[in-house]
Each structure stands twice: as C-alpha cells, then as structure tokens.
Amino acid sequence: MYFLSDDERKQLLKGLLPKTRQTEVADELRGWNWHQPPIEPVYPVRLALHEVAGRYCPTGRDVYLRHVQGLKAEATVAMIQGALFHAVVGSVLLAAKRIIYIHGVERYRDILKELTSISESDEFGDEVRSQLSRLPADQRDQVTAKARTLRDFEVTRIAARIQDILVRQPHIGTDSLASLAIPVVVEQKIDGSFMGLSSQLSVDAYTALELMILDTKFAQKRDFHRLTTTGYAMVSEAVNEYPVNIGCIVYARFVGDRLTVEKDFHIIDDELRQWFLEERDQKSRSVYEELDPGLADDCPGFCSYRPHCHPS
C-alpha cells in the first residue's frame, strides 16, 4: 500500500513537490526549533502522538480520563482490526526484505517462489494471530479473509516490483534490489521527547526516496488524520534537522472481497503545524493541571471511553 503507482509518482513529482518549494514553512514551526516557542513544550507531560493527533473525542476527554483518572478503556473491534491489518502489512514487507537478503539476486527465482508461498499459506505470524484471538469468535473468519486479501495484495505488488527492477537493472546487487523494491521503513522508531511527546513513537512508514511520512487508516476519512503525519514530520525534523514537507494518509477499505486503496497526499504547511501544537498544548495542560475538559456535545458512539462518560 505504501508503493506509488506511476500516476501517483507523477502527481507527487510534478504537482506536490513544486508546490512545497512555493509554500514556505515558517522556520519557527520547523521541528528543529523545538527549544523555543511555539514548539518548546509548555508542560512537562509526555503524550503519545496518537493522543495529540486523534480528535475522535471532540473535547479530548479521553486523554484526561486515561492520564489523570487512570482509566483504561478496552480496545474496540475497529481498533483491534486496525492493529491486525497493520501487522499484516508490516510482516509481509519484513518477510520480503528477509527473503531477498537470504537468496540474493542470483537466486531471484527462489525469491519469487518463496514470496508466492506466503500467499499460499494458511498461517499468519504470531502478532496477527494474537490480534485475531482478541476478536469476537463470530467475526474471526471474516477478518481472516480480509487479512488474506491484504496479504496477497502486498505480495503481488512486491513480486511485480522485483521483476520490473531486475528487467531494467541487469547488474543490480542484492542490497540495492531490496532498497528499491521495498523503499520503506515500517514502524520506524523515533524519539518525540524534544516535542513534548513520548520517547517511544512509531511511524507507520517512512520512505526516503520521496522524503515522505506515511500513515495508514482502515477507516473513513477525517480532516484531523493529517495531524498524525504532521506530528511525525515535526518530530523527524527535531531529531534529524532535515525538512519534511509532504505527508500521505493511505486509506485502505474492503469492498466485498476486494481491497481499495486511496492516498491523500498533502503539504505539511504552517496551518497543520499550528493545529498540531494547539492540540498538544491543550491536552498537555488538561493532564498537567488535571482539568476535566468536559463531555462532548456529539460524543461518538464508537468511543471506547463512552461507558465512562455516559454510564447506563
């Protein structure tokens, strides 16, 4: 899902990248200026990035209940499915890299054969099986079928990329093949403490070829989803002192037995950066000063904290 099609790459190179050169980001909003306002953390609170960026609770009361009241909500079915599908994608990408390095370019037929065997297998890795076991029994077969669809899609894309690269680059080495065929780092660990965030952050995917932060959602579109890529971009700038201007939300949905993928490319501009900082400061203040932000007027029915806010 993280690989760009020819049309998407053209959109990125000819459309979005030129716009980033015209859209100048204020230097004070670059992550490397974490030591001074407005980025400098106001409160000694370390929140997870998803707590800052997730506005599923309109008032942010979920963060208050978790950190101040010490309430732990049970994961919803949607949350478990999302974690499971993320695990499927990550496991396929890691397995494919491992297979390339084990066999090397000279045994490319063995690479393709072993990739095919992944699709033909009825088994999943430990993490995927663990997530499946958390689901209600009557939903496991349906979710397993979706996981297979997702896995097969990723395997097919990787195999096609390997063959395309080998055709065009007859003298390519093993390491180069792996980096070109799978040019993403999944679950990139990064320290967010410079930004007043957790030191144990994990980026869904980072691609060095396009210098872009990617985040995957197995849910409907929300405007605040772009806060996730914005936060990770600013943290990356704080750690690496290199500008990150583009984010991409990958929306994956299942329609019957088919997988559909839509990518939301966006410039990480001043407006998104300011919005992220406002969310961070508001939620950090709520936790530090133990201020209950109150109930939301439109409390979503799927919120895992709803039973605490609206006990029956």
- Which tokens belong to 231? 């936060």
Q: What are phi and psi of 215, to 5 degrees?
A: -135, 135
Q: What is the pTM of this model?
A: 0.93
Residue 30's pLDDT is what? 98
Give the total residue count for the chain.
312
- Classify 196 as helix, strand or coil: coil
The conformation of residue 221, written as its DSSP 8-state character, comes to: -
Question: For residues 81 and 66, what is the distance between their CA atoms, to the nearest angstrom?
Answer: 22
Residues 6+ apart with CB under 8 A from 193: 46, 199
Question: For residues 67 and 204, what is the distance between their CA atoms, to the nearest angstrom?
Answer: 24
Residue 307: asked if its preceding bond is cis (omega within 30°), the reply is no
Which region holds residue 91: left if phi is over 0, alpha if psi is between -120 and 50, else beta? alpha
HSE, CB side, 13 Å, CA atoms: give it for residue 122.
Answer: 1
Residue 257's pLDDT is what? 86
Residue 279's pLDDT is what? 98
* Segments of the chain with pLDDT less than 70: 209
CB atoms within 10 A of CB 81: 23
Print burial letters for 117-137: b (CB count within 10 Å at least 16), e (below 16). Answer: ebeeeeebeeebeebbeebee
The domain segmentation of the chain, as residue ranges, is 6-56+184-288, 77-181
